[in-house]
Amino acid sequence: MDCTFPFSSATQRLLQLDQQKYSQHIRSWYHHGEHSLSPVSQGCQNSRLEPLECRDLLVQNALFTGDLEMVQKYFTKSAAINLIIEAKSGELRWTSRKFGLWSLSYEQELTTPLHITASRGYTDCLRFLLLRGAAVNFAPGGKTALHEACAAASTDCVRLLLSFGADPEAVSEDGYKPLHLCKSPDSIECVQQLLQHGASVNSRTEEEDDTVLHVVARHGLTDHVQLLLRYGAELEAMNEEGQTPLNAACAQPHQPQDMDRYYQVCQLLVESGADIHAADKDRQHPLHLACKNANAQVVELLLARGANVNIMNYSGNTALHNILQATAYKLEHHPELVVQALLNYGAIRIWPGSLLKVRGSQLCQEHGGEERL
């Protein structure tokens, strides 16, 4: 099977508009070959000329499987390195190729050999491509290879990319920097590497206006929070919704098995001086939000630190309102413990009839779910 790398339509238009200037950069045309990559212009990487599109399935397979031997075979010293590869994402969307005819297909994403190897943790292949001159900050699909490595929590790839000059402050098409994509427990060393290479600890996302501390608090990452605080992360920074990182942690829905780590995050933030009275744009306080998620440990923490048990939000709801509303779908979180804590700290007993529902949920838990409200 022959492999071809045709010019993209955008490149063709540029060549037509500015043929004389581009002729200075192009020393030879790409051509068909026996599973090999044809020579690339020496000035292509730094010019306005767009890299070519790779449609050879054998080359793509070598990259996606991390086959170093085959990658070395295809990407010789004279081969094109900064190729565009169109891959399918996991998201479906409606598209119309002909007038009036719509179809549901997987969204196409533009990627490169560098992005593919970085996102899959193929360090040896990644190093080989970088040594062959791959553009480390190239972002044809809106993200750099460093974004991909951080999202995959591939510490070795992050370290390697940074050593080759990857920009730790690169902004993706969606307005995220690499630090904002470190959302898993395994990404803690990626965060460390980024901060050591000059990433701003208080950088914000463009749309939500989240700081990195907002992001990791929302994902219940205690070690990340601790590390960011050591680097001077702002405790009281507010995002687009008016939430502080403490608000964000309290507001994030989580499963019963994750309640303890969200408690640890909130405890760390509070002990570091986070304001337990900070309200978002809806005047939801951390206590309101923790009650919505029926996390009794966080509720106890906030109450013990002086949270106002009867303060209302814009809707006129107190923390007790919120837990009573959440009881029906938070049975596994033991909402009765939250109600008990609120009453112990002087919650006003409004909606007295609703307390029967909470007591019923407690009985349901005690009898193995045999009773129903």
Position 62 in a domain: yes
Position 211 in a domain: no
Q: For residue 188, how far is the Cα from the chain centroid?
A: 14
Model confidence pLDDT, tens digit, residues 199-229: 999 999 999 999 999 999 999 999 999 999 9
CATH label of the domain that carries residue 34: 1.25.40.20
Position 227 in a domain: no
Give 286-291 contacts, CB < 8 A, sequence gap 24+.
Answer: 286/246, 286/247, 286/250, 287/250, 287/311, 287/319, 288/313, 288/317, 288/318, 288/319, 288/322, 289/247, 289/250, 289/251, 290/250, 290/266, 290/319, 291/319, 291/320, 291/322, 291/323, 291/326, 291/338, 291/342
Position 351 in a domain: no
Position 276 in a domain: no
Position 373 in a domain: no
* Distant-in-sequence, close-in-space partners of 233: CB < 8 Å, separation ≥ 6: 201, 202, 211, 212, 213, 245
Number of other residues whose CB lies within 10 A of the CB of residue 149: 33
Model confidence pLDDT, tens digit, residues 42-61: 333 333 345 688 888 999 99
Domain count within the chain: 1
Position 144 in a domain: yes
Position 302 in a domain: no
Expressed as residue numbers, the domain containing 24 is 1-90+106-199
On whether the CB atoms of residues 156 and 123 are closer than 8 A, the answer is yes
Prediction pTM value: 0.78
Model confidence pLDDT, tens digit, residues 319-340: 999 999 999 999 999 999 999 9
CA distance 79 to 210: 41
- Among 97-111, 163-177, 182-196, which is the least confidently predicted range? 97-111
